Structure 1
Amino acid sequence: MPLLPGAEPYRHEGNEVGVLLCHGFTGSPQSMRPWGQYLAAQGLTVSVPLLPGHGTRWEDMQLTGWQDWYAEVDRKLTALTDRCERVFVCGLSMGGALALRLAAKHGEAVSGIAVVNPANKMHGIAVNALPVARHLIRTTKGVAGDIVKPGVKEVGYDRVPLHAADSLRRFLRLLDGELPQVTQPLLLMHSTVDHVVPPTDSARILGRVSSTDVREVLLEQSYHVATLDHDADRIFEESFAFFARLAPSVGKEGTATGG
Protein backbone atom coordinates (compact mmCIF):
# COMPACT_ATOMS: atom_id res chain seq x y z
CA MET A 1 0.00 0.00 0.00
CA PRO A 2 1.55 3.35 -1.05
CA LEU A 3 2.30 5.89 1.66
CA LEU A 4 0.45 9.17 1.92
CA PRO A 5 2.61 12.07 0.66
CA GLY A 6 4.76 13.25 3.55
CA ALA A 7 4.22 10.15 5.68
CA GLU A 8 7.65 8.68 4.97
CA PRO A 9 9.92 7.89 7.95
CA TYR A 10 12.88 10.21 8.46
CA ARG A 11 16.46 9.36 9.46
CA HIS A 12 19.61 11.46 9.80
CA GLU A 13 23.07 10.19 10.71
CA GLY A 14 24.70 12.76 12.95
CA ASN A 15 26.86 12.72 16.08
CA GLU A 16 26.91 10.40 19.09
CA VAL A 17 23.73 11.91 20.55
CA GLY A 18 20.59 10.30 19.20
CA VAL A 19 16.95 11.39 19.32
CA LEU A 20 13.92 9.20 18.65
CA LEU A 21 10.73 11.08 17.75
CA CYS A 22 7.38 9.25 17.91
CA HIS A 23 4.32 10.52 16.05
CA GLY A 24 0.75 10.31 17.26
CA PHE A 25 -2.33 8.11 16.85
CA THR A 26 -3.59 8.09 13.22
CA GLY A 27 -0.81 10.56 12.34
CA SER A 28 2.53 10.14 10.57
CA PRO A 29 6.19 11.26 10.65
CA GLN A 30 5.09 14.42 8.81
CA SER A 31 4.06 15.95 12.15
CA MET A 32 7.54 15.28 13.58
CA ARG A 33 9.77 15.85 10.56
CA PRO A 34 10.35 19.62 11.07
CA TRP A 35 11.40 18.89 14.66
CA GLY A 36 13.66 16.10 13.47
CA GLN A 37 15.18 18.23 10.74
CA TYR A 38 15.88 21.02 13.22
CA LEU A 39 17.74 18.62 15.50
CA ALA A 40 19.56 17.10 12.53
CA ALA A 41 20.74 20.59 11.54
CA GLN A 42 22.30 20.86 15.01
CA GLY A 43 24.30 17.71 14.28
CA LEU A 44 22.28 15.12 16.19
CA THR A 45 21.41 11.63 14.97
CA VAL A 46 17.65 11.52 14.42
CA SER A 47 15.11 8.74 13.86
CA VAL A 48 11.42 9.39 13.09
CA PRO A 49 9.78 6.01 12.40
CA LEU A 50 6.42 5.34 10.77
CA LEU A 51 4.22 3.35 13.14
CA PRO A 52 2.61 0.15 11.77
CA GLY A 53 -0.80 0.72 10.22
CA HIS A 54 -0.19 4.47 9.84
CA GLY A 55 0.54 6.65 6.84
CA THR A 56 -1.47 4.64 4.30
CA ARG A 57 -5.21 4.15 4.92
CA TRP A 58 -7.27 3.60 8.04
CA GLU A 59 -8.11 0.04 6.99
CA ASP A 60 -4.46 -0.88 7.53
CA MET A 61 -4.52 0.56 11.04
CA GLN A 62 -7.58 -1.55 11.85
CA LEU A 63 -5.28 -4.59 11.74
CA THR A 64 -2.77 -3.23 14.28
CA GLY A 65 -2.69 -2.49 17.99
CA TRP A 66 -0.54 -0.85 20.64
CA GLN A 67 1.84 -3.80 20.82
CA ASP A 68 2.72 -3.23 17.15
CA TRP A 69 3.24 0.52 17.60
CA TYR A 70 5.33 0.09 20.72
CA ALA A 71 7.42 -2.70 19.18
CA GLU A 72 8.42 -0.40 16.33
CA VAL A 73 9.64 2.45 18.54
CA ASP A 74 11.33 -0.04 20.84
CA ARG A 75 13.22 -1.45 17.85
CA LYS A 76 14.27 2.01 16.70
CA LEU A 77 15.42 2.90 20.22
CA THR A 78 17.62 -0.19 20.32
CA ALA A 79 19.15 0.79 16.98
CA LEU A 80 19.92 4.26 18.34
CA THR A 81 21.41 2.98 21.59
CA ASP A 82 23.67 0.68 19.56
CA ARG A 83 24.81 3.67 17.49
CA CYS A 84 24.92 6.55 20.02
CA GLU A 85 26.40 7.32 23.43
CA ARG A 86 23.34 9.23 24.63
CA VAL A 87 19.73 8.77 23.44
CA PHE A 88 16.67 10.91 24.09
CA VAL A 89 13.04 9.98 23.35
CA CYS A 90 10.38 12.44 22.22
CA GLY A 91 6.77 12.19 21.20
CA LEU A 92 3.54 13.95 20.31
CA SER A 93 0.22 12.82 21.80
CA MET A 94 0.19 8.99 21.72
CA GLY A 95 3.82 9.27 20.61
CA GLY A 96 4.48 10.98 23.93
CA ALA A 97 2.90 8.03 25.71
CA LEU A 98 5.09 5.64 23.72
CA ALA A 99 8.17 7.70 24.65
CA LEU A 100 7.24 7.57 28.33
CA ARG A 101 6.90 3.79 28.21
CA LEU A 102 10.28 3.49 26.51
CA ALA A 103 11.76 5.50 29.37
CA ALA A 104 9.99 3.37 31.97
CA LYS A 105 11.19 0.12 30.41
CA HIS A 106 14.72 1.04 29.30
CA GLY A 107 15.92 2.99 32.33
CA GLU A 108 19.42 4.42 31.97
CA ALA A 109 19.50 3.68 28.24
CA VAL A 110 17.23 6.73 27.88
CA SER A 111 18.93 9.98 28.95
CA GLY A 112 15.84 12.18 28.89
CA ILE A 113 12.30 12.62 27.60
CA ALA A 114 10.70 15.53 25.71
CA VAL A 115 6.98 15.23 25.01
CA VAL A 116 4.32 17.47 23.49
CA ASN A 117 0.67 17.15 24.53
CA PRO A 118 1.20 13.57 25.75
CA ALA A 119 -1.86 11.36 26.05
CA ASN A 120 -2.73 9.71 29.37
CA LYS A 121 -6.26 8.42 28.88
CA MET A 122 -9.11 8.23 26.42
CA HIS A 123 -11.82 10.81 27.06
CA GLY A 124 -15.55 10.95 26.40
CA ILE A 125 -18.61 9.08 27.55
CA ALA A 126 -18.31 6.55 24.70
CA VAL A 127 -14.88 5.29 25.77
CA ASN A 128 -16.24 2.58 28.06
CA ALA A 129 -18.31 1.24 25.18
CA LEU A 130 -15.29 0.68 22.92
CA PRO A 131 -14.76 -3.02 23.76
CA VAL A 132 -18.25 -3.77 22.42
CA ALA A 133 -18.66 -0.94 19.91
CA ARG A 134 -15.56 -1.95 17.96
CA HIS A 135 -17.38 -5.12 16.90
CA LEU A 136 -20.40 -3.17 15.68
CA ILE A 137 -18.93 0.03 14.22
CA ARG A 138 -15.68 0.10 12.27
CA THR A 139 -14.75 3.79 12.53
CA THR A 140 -15.56 7.18 13.96
CA LYS A 141 -14.55 10.68 12.89
CA GLY A 142 -10.85 11.49 12.82
CA VAL A 143 -8.81 13.52 15.28
CA ALA A 144 -6.01 14.69 12.98
CA GLY A 145 -5.43 18.35 12.10
CA ASP A 146 -6.10 20.24 15.35
CA ILE A 147 -3.92 23.22 14.37
CA VAL A 148 -4.37 26.99 14.77
CA LYS A 149 -1.93 28.10 12.08
CA PRO A 150 -3.69 28.85 8.78
CA GLY A 151 -2.85 26.71 5.79
CA VAL A 152 -1.08 23.98 7.76
CA LYS A 153 -2.39 20.43 7.38
CA GLU A 154 -1.46 17.29 9.28
CA VAL A 155 -1.01 14.13 7.24
CA GLY A 156 -3.24 11.65 9.03
CA TYR A 157 -6.45 9.66 8.76
CA ASP A 158 -9.87 11.28 8.63
CA ARG A 159 -11.34 8.22 10.33
CA VAL A 160 -10.39 6.45 13.57
CA PRO A 161 -10.68 2.64 13.49
CA LEU A 162 -12.46 1.62 16.69
CA HIS A 163 -10.39 -1.55 17.05
CA ALA A 164 -7.25 0.59 17.18
CA ALA A 165 -8.92 3.12 19.49
CA ASP A 166 -9.77 0.37 21.95
CA SER A 167 -6.18 -0.84 21.81
CA LEU A 168 -4.99 2.70 22.57
CA ARG A 169 -7.40 2.84 25.52
CA ARG A 170 -5.88 -0.33 26.96
CA PHE A 171 -2.33 0.91 26.34
CA LEU A 172 -2.88 4.22 28.12
CA ARG A 173 -4.37 2.42 31.10
CA LEU A 174 -1.30 0.15 31.22
CA LEU A 175 1.09 3.06 30.90
CA ASP A 176 -0.57 5.00 33.72
CA GLY A 177 0.45 2.21 36.08
CA GLU A 178 4.02 2.29 34.76
CA LEU A 179 4.58 6.06 35.01
CA PRO A 180 6.19 5.85 38.49
CA GLN A 181 9.00 3.88 36.78
CA VAL A 182 9.90 6.99 34.77
CA THR A 183 12.86 8.61 36.53
CA GLN A 184 14.70 10.42 33.73
CA PRO A 185 14.77 14.20 33.23
CA LEU A 186 11.49 15.24 31.64
CA LEU A 187 10.57 18.19 29.43
CA LEU A 188 6.79 18.32 29.09
CA MET A 189 5.33 20.90 26.69
CA HIS A 190 1.57 21.22 26.37
CA SER A 191 -0.96 23.50 24.75
CA THR A 192 -3.32 25.51 26.92
CA VAL A 193 -6.08 24.83 24.37
CA ASP A 194 -6.14 21.31 22.93
CA HIS A 195 -9.23 19.73 21.37
CA VAL A 196 -7.77 16.19 21.34
CA VAL A 197 -5.79 15.73 24.58
CA PRO A 198 -6.81 18.03 27.46
CA PRO A 199 -4.17 19.65 29.70
CA THR A 200 -5.37 17.40 32.54
CA ASP A 201 -3.46 14.55 30.88
CA SER A 202 -0.19 16.45 31.25
CA ALA A 203 -1.03 17.25 34.87
CA ARG A 204 -1.70 13.57 35.55
CA ILE A 205 1.62 12.55 33.98
CA LEU A 206 3.55 15.17 35.95
CA GLY A 207 1.94 13.89 39.12
CA ARG A 208 2.68 10.23 38.41
CA VAL A 209 6.28 10.14 37.17
CA SER A 210 9.20 9.80 39.59
CA SER A 211 11.42 12.23 37.66
CA THR A 212 12.92 14.99 39.81
CA ASP A 213 14.39 17.02 36.91
CA VAL A 214 11.17 18.28 35.34
CA ARG A 215 10.39 21.32 33.18
CA GLU A 216 6.85 22.20 32.14
CA VAL A 217 6.35 24.57 29.20
CA LEU A 218 2.97 26.04 28.27
CA LEU A 219 2.24 26.45 24.56
CA GLU A 220 -0.26 29.28 24.36
CA GLN A 221 -0.43 29.78 20.59
CA SER A 222 -1.08 26.23 19.42
CA TYR A 223 -3.68 23.48 19.49
CA HIS A 224 -2.93 19.75 19.66
CA VAL A 225 -0.46 19.32 16.79
CA ALA A 226 1.84 21.97 18.25
CA THR A 227 4.86 20.63 16.37
CA LEU A 228 3.31 22.07 13.18
CA ASP A 229 1.71 25.11 14.82
CA HIS A 230 2.76 28.58 15.98
CA ASP A 231 4.81 27.20 18.89
CA ALA A 232 6.87 24.79 16.76
CA ASP A 233 10.08 26.84 16.92
CA ARG A 234 9.79 27.09 20.68
CA ILE A 235 9.37 23.31 20.95
CA PHE A 236 12.45 22.74 18.81
CA GLU A 237 14.58 25.24 20.73
CA GLU A 238 13.43 24.13 24.19
CA SER A 239 14.15 20.49 23.39
CA PHE A 240 17.59 21.21 21.97
CA ALA A 241 18.52 23.26 25.04
CA PHE A 242 17.27 20.38 27.21
CA PHE A 243 19.41 17.85 25.35
CA ALA A 244 22.44 20.16 25.41
CA ARG A 245 22.17 20.53 29.19
CA LEU A 246 22.05 16.77 29.72
CA ALA A 247 24.60 15.79 27.04
CA PRO A 248 27.38 18.43 27.15
CA SER A 249 28.79 17.32 23.79
CA VAL A 250 25.64 18.57 22.04
CA GLY A 251 26.26 21.74 20.12
CA LYS A 252 30.04 21.69 20.52
CA GLU A 253 31.92 22.49 17.36
CA GLY A 254 33.22 19.45 15.58
CA THR A 255 30.78 16.91 17.05
CA ALA A 256 28.59 16.64 13.96
CA THR A 257 29.51 14.11 11.32
CA GLY A 258 26.99 15.18 8.73
CA GLY A 259 24.94 12.66 6.80
Structure 2
Amino acid sequence: MIGCLCIHGFTGEAKEVEPLTNFLKQKKGWLVYSPTLPGHGSKEGLRKANFKHWLYAAEVAAEELLKRCEKVYVIGFSMGGMIASYVAAKYPIHKLILLSCSAYYLNPKQIIQDMKGWIIEGWRGELENDILYKLYRRKIKDTPVKATVEFAKTVYKTRPILQKVKVPTLIIQGECDGLVPPKKSAEYLYEMISSTEKQLYYFKNSKHYIWLGEDRDDLLDIINHFLEN
Protein backbone atom coordinates (compact mmCIF):
# COMPACT_ATOMS: atom_id res chain seq x y z
CA MET A 1 0.00 0.00 0.00
CA ILE A 2 1.10 3.55 -0.72
CA GLY A 3 0.46 6.19 1.90
CA CYS A 4 0.12 9.88 1.07
CA LEU A 5 0.14 12.59 3.72
CA CYS A 6 -1.26 15.96 2.61
CA ILE A 7 -0.65 18.96 4.87
CA HIS A 8 -2.75 22.10 4.47
CA GLY A 9 -1.62 25.69 4.90
CA PHE A 10 -1.73 28.27 7.69
CA THR A 11 -5.31 29.01 8.89
CA GLY A 12 -6.62 26.31 6.55
CA GLU A 13 -8.16 22.92 7.22
CA ALA A 14 -8.10 19.49 5.58
CA LYS A 15 -10.88 20.59 3.21
CA GLU A 16 -8.53 23.28 1.83
CA VAL A 17 -6.60 20.61 -0.09
CA GLU A 18 -9.61 18.45 -0.99
CA PRO A 19 -9.24 18.99 -4.77
CA LEU A 20 -5.89 17.23 -4.42
CA THR A 21 -6.80 14.58 -1.83
CA ASN A 22 -10.00 13.63 -3.67
CA PHE A 23 -7.95 13.11 -6.82
CA LEU A 24 -5.41 10.91 -5.02
CA LYS A 25 -8.09 8.89 -3.24
CA GLN A 26 -9.21 7.55 -6.60
CA LYS A 27 -6.00 5.55 -6.84
CA LYS A 28 -6.36 1.88 -5.96
CA GLY A 29 -4.19 0.76 -3.06
CA TRP A 30 -3.52 4.29 -1.78
CA LEU A 31 -4.17 5.51 1.75
CA VAL A 32 -4.54 9.29 1.63
CA TYR A 33 -4.60 11.19 4.90
CA SER A 34 -4.97 14.94 5.45
CA PRO A 35 -5.23 15.91 9.12
CA THR A 36 -6.39 19.32 10.25
CA LEU A 37 -3.51 20.84 12.22
CA PRO A 38 -4.12 21.67 15.92
CA GLY A 39 -6.06 24.88 16.48
CA HIS A 40 -7.01 25.28 12.84
CA GLY A 41 -10.69 25.65 12.08
CA SER A 42 -11.50 28.34 14.61
CA LYS A 43 -10.15 31.70 15.75
CA GLU A 44 -10.07 30.59 19.38
CA GLY A 45 -8.25 27.40 18.46
CA LEU A 46 -5.52 29.33 16.67
CA ARG A 47 -4.98 31.42 19.80
CA LYS A 48 -4.12 28.29 21.80
CA ALA A 49 -1.98 26.33 19.32
CA ASN A 50 1.68 26.87 18.53
CA PHE A 51 4.14 25.74 15.88
CA LYS A 52 5.35 22.81 18.00
CA HIS A 53 1.82 21.41 18.01
CA TRP A 54 1.69 21.62 14.21
CA LEU A 55 5.02 19.88 13.71
CA TYR A 56 4.13 17.17 16.20
CA ALA A 57 0.77 16.48 14.54
CA ALA A 58 2.51 16.02 11.18
CA GLU A 59 5.07 13.68 12.77
CA VAL A 60 2.35 11.52 14.33
CA ALA A 61 0.54 11.29 10.99
CA ALA A 62 3.74 10.34 9.15
CA GLU A 63 4.65 7.70 11.73
CA GLU A 64 1.21 6.12 11.43
CA LEU A 65 1.40 5.94 7.63
CA LEU A 66 4.92 4.51 7.77
CA LYS A 67 3.64 1.72 10.01
CA ARG A 68 0.85 0.81 7.62
CA CYS A 69 2.30 1.47 4.16
CA GLU A 70 5.23 0.23 2.08
CA LYS A 71 5.88 3.70 0.69
CA VAL A 72 4.87 7.13 1.97
CA TYR A 73 4.67 10.36 0.00
CA VAL A 74 4.24 13.76 1.65
CA ILE A 75 2.60 16.79 0.04
CA GLY A 76 2.57 20.21 1.69
CA PHE A 77 0.77 23.40 0.70
CA SER A 78 2.02 26.86 1.76
CA MET A 79 3.09 26.62 5.44
CA GLY A 80 2.24 22.94 5.14
CA GLY A 81 5.09 22.70 2.64
CA MET A 82 7.59 23.76 5.26
CA ILE A 83 6.12 21.23 7.69
CA ALA A 84 6.24 18.57 4.97
CA SER A 85 9.93 19.35 4.43
CA TYR A 86 10.52 18.90 8.14
CA VAL A 87 8.85 15.49 7.98
CA ALA A 88 10.85 14.52 4.87
CA ALA A 89 14.11 15.42 6.59
CA LYS A 90 13.28 13.40 9.70
CA TYR A 91 11.48 10.29 8.39
CA PRO A 92 12.15 7.74 5.62
CA ILE A 93 9.49 8.93 3.22
CA HIS A 94 9.88 8.30 -0.51
CA LYS A 95 8.78 11.49 -2.29
CA LEU A 96 8.02 15.10 -1.39
CA ILE A 97 5.81 17.68 -3.14
CA LEU A 98 5.80 21.37 -2.18
CA LEU A 99 2.93 23.54 -3.43
CA SER A 100 3.17 27.34 -3.05
CA CYS A 101 5.56 26.61 -0.21
CA SER A 102 6.21 29.56 2.11
CA ALA A 103 9.97 29.48 2.62
CA TYR A 104 9.43 33.23 2.27
CA TYR A 105 6.09 34.97 2.45
CA LEU A 106 4.19 38.02 1.21
CA ASN A 107 4.61 39.37 -2.30
CA PRO A 108 3.70 43.10 -2.09
CA LYS A 109 3.73 43.65 -5.85
CA GLN A 110 1.16 40.93 -6.51
CA ILE A 111 -0.95 41.94 -3.52
CA ILE A 112 -1.26 45.44 -5.01
CA GLN A 113 -2.30 43.95 -8.35
CA ASP A 114 -4.93 41.79 -6.66
CA MET A 115 -6.26 44.77 -4.69
CA LYS A 116 -6.59 46.82 -7.88
CA GLY A 117 -8.61 44.01 -9.40
CA TRP A 118 -10.83 43.77 -6.32
CA ILE A 119 -11.47 47.53 -6.38
CA ILE A 120 -12.63 47.31 -10.00
CA GLU A 121 -14.82 44.30 -9.18
CA GLY A 122 -16.26 46.26 -6.24
CA TRP A 123 -17.27 49.10 -8.55
CA ARG A 124 -18.95 46.60 -10.83
CA GLY A 125 -20.72 44.85 -7.95
CA GLU A 126 -18.90 41.60 -8.73
CA LEU A 127 -16.71 41.29 -5.63
CA GLU A 128 -18.94 38.88 -3.72
CA ASN A 129 -18.53 36.39 -6.56
CA ASP A 130 -14.72 36.42 -6.29
CA ILE A 131 -13.79 33.18 -4.49
CA LEU A 132 -10.21 34.27 -3.78
CA TYR A 133 -11.28 37.63 -2.31
CA LYS A 134 -13.80 35.96 0.00
CA LEU A 135 -11.19 33.42 1.08
CA TYR A 136 -8.56 36.08 1.88
CA ARG A 137 -11.10 38.28 3.67
CA ARG A 138 -12.17 35.42 5.93
CA LYS A 139 -8.58 34.44 6.72
CA ILE A 140 -7.58 38.01 7.65
CA LYS A 141 -10.68 38.44 9.81
CA ASP A 142 -10.29 35.13 11.67
CA THR A 143 -6.52 35.05 12.24
CA PRO A 144 -5.20 36.13 15.68
CA VAL A 145 -1.87 37.98 15.83
CA LYS A 146 -0.47 35.23 18.07
CA ALA A 147 -1.13 32.64 15.37
CA THR A 148 0.68 34.77 12.80
CA VAL A 149 3.71 34.83 15.09
CA GLU A 150 3.57 31.03 15.33
CA PHE A 151 3.42 30.83 11.54
CA ALA A 152 6.62 32.90 11.33
CA LYS A 153 8.25 30.61 13.89
CA THR A 154 7.31 27.57 11.80
CA VAL A 155 9.08 29.00 8.76
CA TYR A 156 12.09 30.15 10.79
CA LYS A 157 12.52 26.80 12.54
CA THR A 158 12.10 24.63 9.43
CA ARG A 159 14.25 26.57 6.92
CA PRO A 160 17.58 25.15 8.22
CA ILE A 161 16.22 21.61 7.94
CA LEU A 162 15.74 21.91 4.16
CA GLN A 163 19.37 20.88 3.64
CA LYS A 164 18.57 17.49 5.17
CA VAL A 165 15.87 16.71 2.58
CA LYS A 166 17.35 14.10 0.25
CA VAL A 167 14.28 12.41 -1.25
CA PRO A 168 12.95 13.13 -4.77
CA THR A 169 11.22 16.50 -4.55
CA LEU A 170 8.75 18.37 -6.76
CA ILE A 171 8.34 22.11 -6.20
CA ILE A 172 5.36 23.86 -7.81
CA GLN A 173 4.77 27.61 -7.66
CA GLY A 174 2.30 30.06 -9.20
CA GLU A 175 3.95 33.20 -10.57
CA CYS A 176 1.01 35.41 -9.52
CA ASP A 177 1.12 34.33 -5.89
CA GLY A 178 0.42 37.25 -3.56
CA LEU A 179 1.26 35.39 -0.35
CA VAL A 180 4.56 33.83 -1.42
CA PRO A 181 7.18 35.69 -3.51
CA PRO A 182 7.39 33.13 -6.36
CA LYS A 183 11.01 33.29 -7.48
CA LYS A 184 12.51 34.03 -4.09
CA SER A 185 10.74 31.21 -2.26
CA ALA A 186 10.71 28.48 -4.92
CA GLU A 187 14.32 29.00 -5.99
CA TYR A 188 15.44 29.09 -2.37
CA LEU A 189 13.75 25.73 -1.82
CA TYR A 190 15.33 24.30 -4.94
CA GLU A 191 18.80 25.45 -3.95
CA MET A 192 18.61 24.44 -0.29
CA ILE A 193 17.10 20.96 -0.67
CA SER A 194 19.91 18.42 -0.98
CA SER A 195 18.09 15.88 -3.13
CA THR A 196 19.78 14.95 -6.41
CA GLU A 197 16.31 14.40 -7.88
CA LYS A 198 14.37 17.65 -7.72
CA GLN A 199 12.11 19.50 -10.13
CA LEU A 200 10.76 23.04 -10.16
CA TYR A 201 7.61 24.02 -12.08
CA TYR A 202 6.09 27.48 -12.44
CA PHE A 203 2.52 28.24 -13.48
CA LYS A 204 2.59 31.65 -15.12
CA ASN A 205 -1.01 32.71 -14.40
CA SER A 206 -1.64 30.95 -11.08
CA LYS A 207 -2.04 32.52 -7.66
CA HIS A 208 -1.44 30.96 -4.25
CA TYR A 209 -4.27 28.44 -4.53
CA ILE A 210 -3.23 26.96 -7.85
CA TRP A 211 -6.15 24.52 -7.98
CA LEU A 212 -8.67 27.39 -7.90
CA GLY A 213 -7.46 28.65 -11.28
CA GLU A 214 -7.26 27.57 -14.87
CA ASP A 215 -4.17 25.43 -14.25
CA ARG A 216 -5.88 22.90 -11.99
CA ASP A 217 -5.87 20.01 -14.48
CA ASP A 218 -2.25 20.62 -15.48
CA LEU A 219 -1.31 20.76 -11.80
CA LEU A 220 -2.90 17.38 -11.12
CA ASP A 221 -1.25 15.88 -14.20
CA ILE A 222 2.22 17.00 -13.08
CA ILE A 223 1.66 15.70 -9.56
CA ASN A 224 0.36 12.40 -10.86
CA HIS A 225 3.32 11.95 -13.22
CA PHE A 226 5.81 12.67 -10.45
CA LEU A 227 4.23 10.22 -8.03
CA GLU A 228 3.67 7.43 -10.54
CA ASN A 229 7.13 7.48 -12.15
TM-score range, shorter chain: 0.7 to 0.9
1:183 and 2:169 are equivalent in the alignment:
no
Candidates 187, 192, 195, aligned match of 1:203: 187
> Equivalent residue of 1:234, what SS?
helix
Partner Cα separation in structure 2 for residue 235 and residue 49 of structure 1: 22
Partner Cα separation in structure 2 for residue 93 and residue 194 of structure 1: 11
Partner Cα separation in structure 1 for residue 198 and residue 191 of structure 2: 11
> Equivalent residue of 1:121, what SS?
coil
Asked if the contact 2:75/2:81 (under 8 Å) is kept, the reply is: yes
Aligned-pair distance for 1:41? 0.8
Candidates 219, 222, 226, aligned match of 1:242: 226
Counterpart of 2:35, as a letter, is P
Alignment coverage as a number of residue pairs: 204
Q: TM-score, normalised by structure 1?
A: 0.73
- Counterparts of 1:2-13 in structure 2, within 5 Å, are none
1:100 and 2:85 are equivalent in the alignment:
yes
Aligned-pair distance for 1:124? 8.5
Partner Cα separation in structure 1 for residue 36 and residue 65 of structure 2: 16
Query: Aligned-pair RMSD on alpha carbons?
Result: 2.1
Match of residue 143 from structure 1: none
Partner Cα separation in structure 2 for residue 35 and residue 122 of structure 1: 22
Partner Cα separation in structure 2 for residue 104 and residue 237 of structure 1: 26
Asked if the contact 1:122/1:169 (under 8 Å) is kept, the reply is: no
Aligned-pair distance for 1:228? 2.9
Identify, as 1 or 2, the structure richer in helix: 2
Aligned-pair distance for 1:230? 2.2
Q: TM-score, normalised by structure 2?
A: 0.83
Aligned-pair distance for 1:229? 2.6
Aligned-pair distance for 1:70? 1.3
Partner Cα separation in structure 2 for residue 190 and residue 121 of structure 1: 12
Give CA deviations for 1:102-126 in whole Å, capped at 9, x if unaligned: 00111xx21010111101135589x
> Equivalent residue of 2:48, what SS?
coil
Aligned-pair distance for 1:74? 1.1
- Counterparts of 1:108-127 in structure 2, within 5 Å, are 109-123=92-106
Match of residue 49 from structure 1: 35
Match of residue 48 from structure 2: 63
Give CA deviations for 1:188-220 in whole Å, capped at 9, x if unaligned: 000011111111111111111101111111112
Match of residue 58 from structure 2: 73
Counterpart of 1:52, as a letter, is P
Counterpart of 1:178, as a letter, is I
Aligned-pair distance for 1:151? 5.2
> Equivalent residue of 2:9, what SS?
coil
Partner Cα separation in structure 2 for residue 240 and residue 111 of structure 1: 15
Match of residue 175 from structure 2: 192
Q: Which has the higher contact order (CA 8 A, sep 6+)?
A: 1
1:28 and 2:6 are equivalent in the alignment:
no
Partner Cα separation in structure 1 for residue 51 and residue 221 of structure 2: 30
In structure 1, runs of 5+ residues without a counterpart are 1-15, 126-149, 246-259
Partner Cα separation in structure 2 for residue 101 and residue 76 of structure 1: 13
Percent identity of the aligned residues?
26
Match of residue 217 from structure 2: 233
In structure 2, runs of 5+ residues without a counterpart are 109-128
Residues 38 and 124 of structure 1, relative CA distance in 2, 3 Å threshold: closer
Partner Cα separation in structure 2 for residue 79 and residue 238 of structure 1: 27
Partner Cα separation in structure 2 for residue 205 and residue 36 of structure 1: 23
Asked if the contact 2:79/2:101 (under 8 Å) is kept, the reply is: yes
Match of residue 207 from structure 2: 223
Residues 218 and 121 of structure 1, relative CA distance in 2, 3 Å threshold: closer
Aligned-pair distance for 1:235? 2.1
Partner Cα separation in structure 1 for residue 3 and residue 187 of structure 2: 28
